[in-house]
Amino acid sequence: MMMKRKLEAAFRSALTVSCLCGLSIASVHADVVSPPKNFIVIFADDFGYGDLGCYRELYQGGDDRSLAHEYTPNLDRLGQQGVRFMQAYTTSWCAPARQNLLSGRWCNRADNVRSPWLGKQLRDLGYSTCFIGKSHGNNSSAKVLNANPDTAEYNDGFFMINGMRKFYLRKGETFPRRVGLRADPFVAKGGEYLTDVFTDFSVDFIQRSAESEQPFCLYLAYNAPHSPLDGKLEDLQTMFPGEFDGIEEDDWTELLNASGARYFKPEPSKRLTGVRSPAPGWSAKTSPAFQRMKELGAEKFIQYNFAALVYGMDRGIGKIMDTLKEAGVDENTVVIFTSDNGSIMGSNYPLTGDKSSHFEGGVRVPMIFWSKSLEDSAAKGRIVEELCPTTDIAATLVGMAEQTAQPDFPFDGINLWPYLESNTPIPDDQVFYFASDTSQFYKANGLYRESLMRPLSKEEQGSMSDSFGSTASHDRIFNAVYIKGKEKLVYWSTLDESARGAVYKQLPTDARNFENPVLPFKEQTVVAGEFPESDAGQKLLKDFVEYTAAPGPGELMHAAVFHSDGNHDDEKRAREYVQDLP
């Protein structure tokens, strides 16, 4: 009852709050309808722009790096019946991406870790919150594991505190898990498939929440389709009949546990420890699964298994959608899907680059909003061309829960719901910012796929040195990406500023009309000593300098917060790197 009064009071106050565009919710949409009260955010891992069928269908041509887009029927339905965002941005790798989404603020803000994130803000509004899947980075994991009733972000959860791990579980493996803030560790019986385990706990949380009639927020962070490429045998046999027929489950599981993370390449036993060790007596020499995969070849092994990881995730999303309907809450739930960064094993077509780069293929990802109310409105099938970072998600959900046009919290994102509900234009002046000083030089030189899948050759290292003035491929650099509307700036410098450079680009708005959409997206590599020469480029560079130098309690930092050792006193390492920019 208290929760109902709180939401009703928030709704009454919302009618007097202005949107960013200067309009009240009532004037944006004359027939104000209470937004869906339940939220599901699904976060894929290393899932690219070209790995999703309902995105691939929007662009002519294609590439053959991935087959995954052929196996996303449930996500395709959500995209086609909901809203697809063409210019959704995230950070270029996992840990900061998760902090951006869950906090609704740039991970580079000095006070970000101490602020309440999405889960806590919704709990304060009477929500039941649940975190399932992958957490990554000390700061995010500290938030996730906190079970203090006064400060916890999540009352329920099933947590994987790793960057990556094997998908088939060994008997006795444990994961932190809790229900109602009470610890309830998960102990594997052996043979479970992790994607399915995460899906099943999601289903359980939805069912319990529906029975309690308490509004809920489920954050489901699948670790699929991140490597290792451990496709589920049952899925592979369904997807590629003939290729995997006759392979036994036990043999397949042992083969995967004996294989490297990205390649089909059994490793020496002495290099395999813990859950990756094959069972006693298993040998690649006598394994029918190994012989079959050897005949199949490494390229198909990668393509098939990556597609199976995506299919397993999509299959799980289908089960979640069925559960919403069976529990009677599908018409009162918003489902959001996006990815932490671009793909590396899959496809980012038609974008340039991959995960870990600041090219579009590293930071632009698919993002879908679906609800029954959107599906039944003029917004069904809408394609949003405006820039919308993943930081908009937290601002949107808190705004929906409060029924407020824009929450009274310093989000770096905006509440998208009023514009989606009324099918009106989204402001075209949003900003995306991400900076890191942890990347290696090869990530700045377009060698992403090759360098992350095998050691660099001497020729490649030499090419990088020539491009940016580096002395070695392992040199660390400071790099930042700043996007405003349809303009983009990428800036890099060595930490001692001996080499600096920046590239400006106007992002395409009509790439879908090109016979070869790769061309308008093509980006240049930063070269030492070169800066934008055009008036527009110089103006955006100046805007970038002013944006990053703005003082305040949430000031932006040179070093990324997600690598903080917990000592916040030294976090205000300021912006000497911009003082001498031309």
This prediction has a pTM of 0.88
In terms of average pLDDT, the best of 161-165, 271-275, 443-447, 505-509 is: 505-509
pLDDT for the residue 232: 97
Virtual CA dihedral for 385, 422, 419, 129, nearest 10 degrees?
-120
Please state which of the ranges 6-10, 448-452, 500-504 shows the lowest mean pLDDT. Answer: 6-10
Contact of 387 with 428, CB cutoff 8 Å? yes
Please state which of the ranges 111-115, 196-200, 480-484 shows the lowest mean pLDDT. Answer: 111-115
For residue 416, pLDDT over 80 is answered with: yes
What is the Rg, in whole angstroms, of the alpha carbon atoms belonging to the chain?
A: 23
pLDDT for the residue 561: 45
pLDDT for the residue 438: 57
Block residue for tokens 């020729």: 459
Helix (H, G, I), strand (E, B) or coil at 366: strand
For residue 254, pLDDT over 60 is answered with: yes
pLDDT level of residue 456 (50, 70, 90 thresholds): low
* Closest to 348 in 3D by CA, of 356, 375, 556: 356
Domain map (residue ranges) of the chain? 2-16+57-226+320-423, 235-302, 433-579
pLDDT for the residue 421: 93
CA distance 89 to 384: 13
pLDDT for the residue 116: 93
Contact of 222 with 43, CB cutoff 8 Å? yes
For residue 215, pLDDT over 80 is answered with: yes
Query: Residue 180: left (phi > 0), alpha (psi -120 to 50), or beta?
Result: left
Query: Angle at CA 248, nearest 5°, toward 243 and 251?
Result: 105
pLDDT for the residue 97: 92
pLDDT level of residue 44 (50, 70, 90 thresholds): very high
User: What mean pLDDT do residues 510-517 have?
Assistant: 93
pLDDT digits (tens, 9 = 90+) for 142-152: 889 999 999 99
Burial 275-310 (b: 16+ CB within 10 A, else e): ebebeeebebeebebbebbeebeeeebbbbbbbbbb
Homologous superfamily (CATH) of 2-16+57-226+320-423 is Alkaline Phosphatase, subunit A (3.40.720.10)
User: What mean pLDDT do residues 22-27 have?
Assistant: 35
For residue 474, pLDDT over 80 is answered with: no
pLDDT level of residue 563 (50, 70, 90 thresholds): very low
For residue 329, pLDDT over 90 is answered with: yes
pLDDT digits (tens, 9 = 90+) for 338-372: 999 999 899 999 998 888 888 999 999 999 999 99
For residue 555, pLDDT over 80 is answered with: no
- 153 or 141, which is more confident? 153
